[in-house]
Structure 1
């Protein structure tokens, strides 16, 4: 029987469908938000290039997802490690009827579109670690490779009913592992592969209003990211929505209070970064923890990432926009605390099984994404050199990669 008609008798819930359409649009908005968040942090001569490095994923991943990405992530499981690439090739069998293996109340095509938005933002997050020195054409090749060989397997392991991490009981409500930890390790791998910027870069952002705009768009879109992962307009979505807001708010305040406690001026950029760290940390547990636990997660992740960024600044690793200290470490913190607090199965409920599987999954995912991404950088570099020349880097990627500047009258570099 054709899979597109196999579940035709299932009833679509209009409220769930309407909510998931909105949630998908909210998650879409996060990628432009990320573009402004990153763009405001780099130097003026790299502003346009940083914006498009996020935006381009909207195009590339949308095509790859329909061709093969969705099949690899959610197709018929091959041993719990990857989906059959023929399952949904070119969205074949991805119809307008529900598929109860994933959601029984919304069109299967809507589930696929919602998941597409997660696949889009993940490689966009990586670009912050390699900003100001990566060749744009090479980046596009890497994005394709990462989507197929890193993201799709991780999504299958974690979210497919037959995925081996899912069957172990590893919990990732909305992408702490699949999106943020993977992007963090891939960014760290890329920063090491490309080595430091020749001039060492600068910590002075080009446009703080852009950073705040991007933060606001990310925070707003994250309600779809987390609450939408309930896949229905129900109590679980409300719980995830509330926890998402509280964790982010707590992390933002914690970051600023930590600045003050250390005798520093309370940084506006720091407040924005803290808010994003809180969003990252609550993502794996948004539907599994209480309000009080979400506040604890936001506070803890903010403190851990705060000092991780300070430690990174004293290292030789040039992760341009602190993707690993914020998204990687924030995601790791959230994943560990999910194993501690998850309702009924967390460590505090007396059974260490889920917590220990979370630690094991963290080791597996970290090794896979770091090592796999490093190999993909090497492969891409063999096809097209990944790093721009010293002259191009000095002139800026806006002119040398795109022939454009952010405004007609450039500001000071």
Structure 2
């Protein structure tokens, strides 16, 4: 029998399996933003719950429209100077065929576009946790629009766009350690340095009002993160996506345990807030590294990140910056740790043959990771601070002190998260239980 003739480079064909897989992953990533809203919403005081939910949900609306109009083109269009992309045919998602494939892959451009849209949505939403209790909703909405345009779209091109300088340098970021987590964490630090501390910071109790809500949000984030990470390989043909899926679970578990052990040694208790925060720290750290490290390496990445993030969240009290919900301590520190640890733990048997120091590869990849990490950190920090400063000097970033004390939910949204007035269930019972209800309300508001 004559040998079969194969072409040197057959053009990819649309894969129904990969297309369906990526659409499911896109939906999972979108679910992460409501999950984040619950995670943050449970961590604030009761009078700020709705505002935290809305700060995440408004990102879905604003970023979706900007991504369609020009964001996708800026992030993934034809490179210009290794800094930003632009493809005029993609403006408004015009002139894209239904079955036109993303270059080199077996999924349509529309599928790649919508998957990346979900990343663009959650990244500014991550920033909101640092600003809890004190930012005008209109100012936040304007900040999201400007920040996505000036910071996220270009940085996404640096890291993932063909021709982007970090992409061409060989910086490894599987699913967003630099473009998402360091970017958001540095932005959070830049903004809070401009807008200042909450009223009563380090004086008044600011405990989470609903730890069950925090745990629910963390669980949704953990679930959605499998789409976030495994889907970033844009298919399911060679096992790398499966490796990332496995490593995501492993690192998250290791980070949660490391955080809880640190917490028990340092503070004497295993808290639910610590478990939720540790899990998120592990998810953050494995995001850039999970395709490059082995499962044992994932344990190391998760454990190291869990420990470092647990230590970092207390720095705000020592250094005096008010990062309300520890965005800097978890996302910035976790993103830096996960990105830099690639330089040590890359096995050469995952997404590429690149090996880290512990696998005989020297420090070459570590220095590349440093370049990507600190460039994104510096740019996002400065650009975000400038945007916050300009907004503050024009329309003002903060609500008034009286509105902050009385509750940002009522001031900005004319609503409250919980209605205690009907707790009695009848005229006589309501009257009889009114003092109890009032007392409960005051305790929750505290």
- Work out whether the TM-score is over 0.5: yes
RMSD of equivalent CA atoms: 1.4
Correspondence for 1:360: 371
Correspondence for 1:5: none
The offset of 1:263, in angstroms, is 4.9
Unaligned runs of 5+ residues in structure 2 are 1-10, 422-440
**Aligned counterparts of 1:10 and 1:292: Cα–Cα separation in 2:** 34
The offset of 1:100, in angstroms, is 4.4
Unaligned runs of 5+ residues in structure 1 are 1-8
The offset of 1:289, in angstroms, is 0.9
Give the number of aligned pairs: 404
Give the TM-score normalised by the residue count of structure 1. 0.95
Q: 1:271 aligns with which of 264, 271, 275?
A: 275
**Aligned counterparts of 2:89 and 2:179: Cα–Cα separation in 1:** 21
**Aligned counterparts of 1:262 and 1:385: Cα–Cα separation in 2:** 40
Correspondence for 1:207: 210
**Aligned counterparts of 2:89 and 2:321: Cα–Cα separation in 1:** 41
- Given the superposition, is the C-alpha separation of residues 202 and 64 from structure 1 closer, same or farther in structure 2, using an over 3 Å criterion? farther
**Aligned counterparts of 2:176 and 2:312: Cα–Cα separation in 1:** 21
Matches within 5 A, 1:7-406: 10-84=12-86, 86-101=88-103, 103-200=104-201, 202-234=205-237, 235-342=239-346, 343=348, 344-345=353-354, 346-348=356-358, 349-406=360-417
The offset of 1:231, in angstroms, is 0.5
The offset of 1:299, in angstroms, is 0.1
Secondary structure at 1:40's aligned position in 2? helix
Correspondence for 2:7: none
Q: 1:407 aligns with which of 418, 424, 436?
A: 418
Query: After alignment, is 229-238 or 18-27 more displaced?
Result: 229-238
- Given the superposition, is the C-alpha separation of residues 89 and 104 from structure 1 closer, same or farther in structure 2, using an over 3 Å criterion? same
Structure 1 runs (4+) greater than 3 angstroms displaced: none
The offset of 1:117, in angstroms, is 0.2
Q: Deviations over 1:152-171 (max 9, x none)?
A: 11100000121110110001
The offset of 1:98, in angstroms, is 4.1
Give the TM-score normalised by the residue count of structure 2. 0.88
Correspondence for 2:436: none
Larger radius of gyration between Structure 1 and Structure 2: 2
Secondary structure at 1:80's aligned position in 2? coil
The offset of 1:97, in angstroms, is 2.5
| Contact 2:79–2:85 under 8 Å retained in 1 | yes
- Given the superposition, is the C-alpha separation of residues 356 and 180 from structure 1 closer, same or farther in structure 2, using an over 3 Å criterion? same
Q: Deviations over 1:10-32 (max 9, x none)?
A: 52101101110110000000000
